[in-house]
Structure 1
Amino acid sequence: MLNETVISKGYQTVVPAKIRKNYKIMPGDILEWIETEKGILVQVRKRRTLKDIIGLVKAEGDAVESKKSIQMGFK
């Protein structure tokens, strides 16, 4: 599958619609440009939302006490 884009004078380009739809690329997602021995690999990194982050942090006990113990080097 060949998809081509043109680089503008401002060094910008457009991700082809078919690629955007197939990989669910949305505004705010990040394209990582990785140099390899064979050329350039472009990889999508999805932007995390607050909804994605909820539940990643465990709340244990009192927040003030946790902060104090972290500042004192414990934990």
Structure 2
Amino acid sequence: MITTKLYNRYQTVIPSEIRKKISVDPDSIVEWTINEKGKVELEFRKRLTEKDIIGLIKQELPYNSVEIKKRSGRGLDWE
């Protein structure tokens, strides 16, 4: 069993042995759930970037990847 300390702002460190085994990085998302038996479960997933998203959607209309990146960085909605 590996243990870690919970710090004053409720932060902790994922031990290196675990990080290496499940290959998480600083941009990984941690999803917390409590199962039906009351046990805490964690899921780690990778954060999607625009590089991951571009090419997933087939679109009939012309688009400009530079404009998509600019808009996503500014948090603008698509109309």
In the alignment, structure 1 segments of 5+ residues that lack a partner are 64-70
- What is the rounded CA distance, in whole Å, between the counterparts of 2:61 and 2:32 in structure 1? 42
Q: TM-score, normalised by structure 2?
A: 0.68
TM-score, structure 1 length as denominator?
Answer: 0.71
Aligned to 2:23: 24
Is there any run of 5+ residues in structure 2 with no aligned partner, and where? 64-78
Identity across aligned pairs (percent)?
43
Q: CA offsets per residue over residues 23-43 of structure 1, 9 Å max, x none?
A: 111112111110112310011
* 1:4-39 per-position Cα deviation (integer Å, ceiling 9, x unaligned): 111101100000101111111111211111011231
- Secondary structure at 1:25 match in 2: coil
Runs of at least 4 residues of structure 1 off by over 6 A?
Answer: none
CA RMSD of aligned residues (A): 1.7
What's 2:61 paired with? 61
2:68 is matched with none
SS at match of 1:52: helix
Tell me the secondary structure at the aligned position of residue 33 of structure 1: strand
Compare CA radii of gyration and give the structure with the larger one: 1
1:9 aligns with 2:8: yes
